[in-house]
Chain A
Amino acid sequence: MSSVERSEARAPLFADLPPVIMLCLFWLATIVVVAVFADLFAPAHYTTQDLLARFRPPVFLGGDWDHVLGTDHLGRDILSRIIYALRTSILIAVLGTLIGAIGGTLAGLAAGRLRGPVDLSVMMLTDVQTALPSLFIALTFLAFFGNNIFLFIILVSLEGWERYARLARGQVISEQSADYIKAVEALGAGPGRVVFRHLLPNIAASLVVQATLNFPGTILLETSLSFLGLGIQPPGTSLGLMLGEGRGYLLNAWWIAVLPGIVIFLTTLAMSLFGDWLRDRLDPTVERD
């Protein structure tokens, strides 16, 4: 990119948002707010059971306003459960993304800057990650170590880490030979300063875009594992877990499974659309999945 293009890219980012993207951002903002202030929004606690009120349908199917989205097989309010489950799923996805992004970026920076055996090791690790999708790695660890929330978050963070690593590595290698980096080195800057004060800020935009593109995959990994019964365990709740639990009641109370599913779908859809738009806007060099 020439210097002219770069300066143009710093023009107001949110200047002309297509309406679809505005909807996406609105949805994402909504779920974040709801998740953070779950206690304010949820009518009831997610474990409150009411065995006399089992399988109530949602309001739009003839149910009453006591349980806007109906109840499940234990009489628990579905709206409340969705809200708390959102909180769990978002929290795990955000933590996972942060850990994966930071870890992957550091690995890529080290590989690109130090080259040699460090580079080789990182490349071999990314090969393994490409050969064995995160789902399988997660299943392997879960089988041997059992379920443990810290392990789970680390496993979720594995989703897409190699993309940050490859991106950081590639960008570092190409930026390293740029004049301004050589100039700063000629001023006597040590390696730490060069990497963190100059290289990293110049590749940060691409990394952020990669994070938004990876995020749906991270959420899906967590919800898939929870759906399979191998992720978040009761009494905790997750959107995937709700789907898994609701699977047995599809015939009579399909809303137990479908409503959380819709929430997941809308979230991954919004994030995908936003990520694609952001990438087209900021930096077409980022990898697609």
Chain B
Amino acid sequence: MTMATLKAIGFRALRSVVTLLLCVTLVFVVLRTAGDPVDQLLPAETPPSVLEEYRIAWGLDRPLYVQYWSFVSRAMTGDFGKSFASNLPVLDVVLETMPRTLLLGFSALLLASLIGLSLGILGAVRRGTGIDRVAMGVAVLGYSMPIFFLGIVLILLFALQLRLLPSSGASSLLHLILPTVTLALPLAGRIARFARTATLEVMGRQFIRTAHAKGAGRLRVLLQHALPNAMVPLLMFYGIEIGLILSGAVVVETIFAWPGLGRLLVSSVSMRDLPLVQGVILTITLVIVLSNLFVDILHALLDPKVSLARTLGGAG
């Protein structure tokens, strides 16, 4: 690892911290603009004396920057207060719910990668033929499909008409299937399109043509040379997709009553359970920022041509 790479990683990490701080600031600003935080974040029935205590504890009688600092430090230690609905600490609720979303997310990612990569690479290798057109046609259908519509259609078909799969809850592995497929298909479409472009780009490069000229078989060239090189841009692509996956999860979990973070978010917004909203949003931000950072670091390590300017100018 060179000095330049370490520098790049350092700057990139710094940028993530700044972004996180900005998001926390955004939540703080929204919180303060919408009204008195004490009224917002404590249940309506709280006696005024307790409200006063909280006012003091949160420094609401102090200048704004002190409040900001106290908010940020509480956020950093995971203190988001207590959920109105359950009166449990928000952090506990979030930590308890998060694994289910992670499960859904990873399953969808896996499935989508399988389908998407196959379609994309197939399309690239058989470029211009009917197979390519069909593959890309399927991809377009996939990513244009509104996710909530897809979910409903799948429920209709598999749960209600065919009675094959359950449509709500999370009590068995079977329950995982429909939500995963719903979340995965649009992602698969986007992966397919991207994989095709990336593969074509790599295949067009000089060293691939040299390998072909030396007589290496097409499959071998593909596996040994083209794919490893396409990995790097693909990884970058995944980083950008994390946000979309989590957005999709919000809708999917709601449709299938999958008890994950997304569903928690929607219900807490509906019920104006503001501490919970805060906690979930900041957790999701953390997850996205960290995964983007992780992807960028991986990129910096794998790709020797990464320069400082590119990492600073890159997304997320």
* Residues of A that sit less than 8 Å from B by CB: 124, 127-128, 130-133, 135-137, 139-146, 216, 220, 223-224, 227-230, 240, 243, 247, 250-251, 254, 257-258, 261-262, 264-265, 268-269, 272-273, 276, 288-289
Contacts and interface: CB of A to CB of B under 8 A. Distances in A.
B31 A144 contact: yes
B268 A132 contact: no
Contact of A130 (B156, B193, B255, B315): B315
Interface in B288-311: 288-289, 292
B149 A265 contact: yes
Contact of A143 (B18, B146, B268): B268
A216 B144 contact: yes
Contact of A142 (B35, B40, B269, B289): B269
B316 interface: yes
Given A140-B277, A143-B274, A130 B243 contact: yes
Contact of B18 (A124, A223, A276): A124
Top 3 closest pairs, chain A to chain B, by CB: A261-B149, A144-B34, A269-B144
Interface stretch (B50-58, B86-94, B121-129, B246-254): B246-254
B153 A258 contact: yes
Interface string B144-169: 11111100110110001000000000
A264 B151 CA distance: 14
Interface-centre pick from A136, A230, A262, A289 (highest chain B CB count, 10 A):
A136
Interface stretch (B21-29, B64-72, B221-229): B21-29
B213 interface: no
A261 B27 contact: no
Contacts of A261: 146, 148-149, 152-153
Given A127-B316, A265-B146, A269-B141, A139 B265 contact: yes
B30 A124 contact: no
B270 interface: yes
A64 to B, nearest CB: 24
A130 B265 contact: no
B204 to A, nearest CB: 15
Contacts of A136: 246-247, 250, 265, 281, 284-285
B13 interface: no
A228 B251 contact: yes
A132 B243 contact: yes
B19 A127 contact: yes
B277 A143 contact: yes
A72 B250 CA distance: 26
Interface of B: 15, 18-20, 22-23, 26-27, 30-31, 33-35, 40, 140-141, 143-149, 152-153, 155-156, 160, 190, 193-194, 240, 243-244, 246-247, 250-251, 254-255, 265-266, 268-270, 272, 274, 277, 281, 284-285, 288-289, 292, 315-316
A127 B292 CA distance: 11
B316 A133 contact: no
B19 A135 contact: no
A250 B270 contact: no
Contact of A127 (B15, B140, B148): B15
Contacts of B18: 124, 127
B89 to A, nearest CB: 19
A156 to B, nearest CB: 14
Contacts of B274: 143-144
16 contacts: A127-B22, A128-B22, A130-B315, A130-B316, A133-B244, A139-B265, A139-B269, A142-B269, A143-B272, A144-B40, A250-B152, A258-B156, A261-B146, A261-B149, A262-B149, A268-B144
Given A128-B26, A145-B34, A139 B243 contact: no
Given A130-B243, A131-B243, A243 B152 contact: yes
A135 B272 CA distance: 17
A139 B146 contact: no
Contact of A289 (B152, B160, B190): B190
A254 B244 CA distance: 28
Contacts of B246: 133, 136
B148 A227 contact: yes
Nearest to A260: B149
Given A132-B288, A247-B255, A288-B193, 13 more contacts: A131-B243, A131-B289, A132-B23, A132-B26, A136-B247, A136-B250, A140-B30, A144-B34, A145-B34, A229-B270, A243-B152, A261-B149, A265-B149
A127 B269 CA distance: 24
B23 A131 contact: yes
Contacts of B160: 250-251, 254
B155 A250 contact: yes
Contacts of A264: 146, 149
Contacts of A240: 148
A124 B16 CA distance: 10
Contacts of A220: 146-147
